[in-house]
Amino acid sequence: MTTLSLSIFLALLAAAFTLACGHRGYLRAAGEAALGEGPSLPRAGWWAPAFMLVFLILISLLTYSRLGHFSGWQQQHTETRVDYLLQSRINQSMIQAERRPEDAATWLALAESQAAGGHYGEAVEALDQALALQGETAPLLGLKAKYLYYQQGRALGIDAVAAVSRALSLDDTDFTSRELLASHAYRQGQYQQAVEHWQVLLDSGTAGTREAAIQRAVERAKARIKAAATPQ
């Protein structure tokens, strides 16, 4: 049973218990009045059940307004758990980097953890540490360009361009660099450039498990090019 379901159940149980106690007291008073052992029984009022009904409706509306529908509530708590797990992963990566500051792999792991949590500035800093220890490689420079790109709001700034250019000068088929340039070109409506970048990955065999997805992306880009060339 979820926490929300349990809360609703307890609220209903409390309401039912309150009504039951009130009704029991009323019956006891009625019995005493019938035996002449108590004061005359006052007329049963309608206000108590009405009050409880209004109370339950208000509580339900307040709960819905704060949490939304049930699936939304579940999503909110799922995201909270995911955020907690990501933060735990980041913390562990930071501990490892502090313990092994001369290990480039630990800094790379920290960079990937920070990026997964959306902390792109910190991810770039961790990658710089890895680059300083390992030296420039196309994969590391491609990742740096990618993180800079997202840090700058999906914009290819000077630093991102410099990183991706250097990466491609080391390896013209670097997957991260080509995928970044292709995706950016597609978002900018530069479909032919996007196709060219993706085609490099397909022709070089570096697409790996992403080959089918890249082929579909190429088809979509070509369809956009064809649609733009077709007279209206």
Tens digit of each residue's pLDDT (9 = 90 or more) over 48-107: 555 666 666 666 656 555 555 555 545 554 444 557 788 888 899 999 999 999 999 999
Are 211 and 202 within 8 A, CB to CB? yes
pLDDT, greater one: 35 or 157 = 157
Q: Is the pTM of this model over 0.75?
A: no
User: Percent of the chain beyond pLDDT 70?
Assistant: 64
pLDDT, greater one: 201 or 232 = 201
Cα distance between residue 225 and residue 193, in whole Å: 11
Are 93 and 113 within 8 A, CB to CB? yes
pLDDT of residue 41: 46
Measured CA distances, 137 to 156, 172, 212, 222 (Å): 20, 12, 27, 32
Cα distance between residue 20 and residue 26, in whole Å: 10
Cα distance between residue 181 and residue 36, in whole Å: 93
pLDDT, greater one: 1 or 57 = 57
Element (H, E) at 137: none
Cα distance between residue 176 and residue 201, in whole Å: 10
- Residue 187's φ and ψ, nearest 5 degrees, are -65, -30
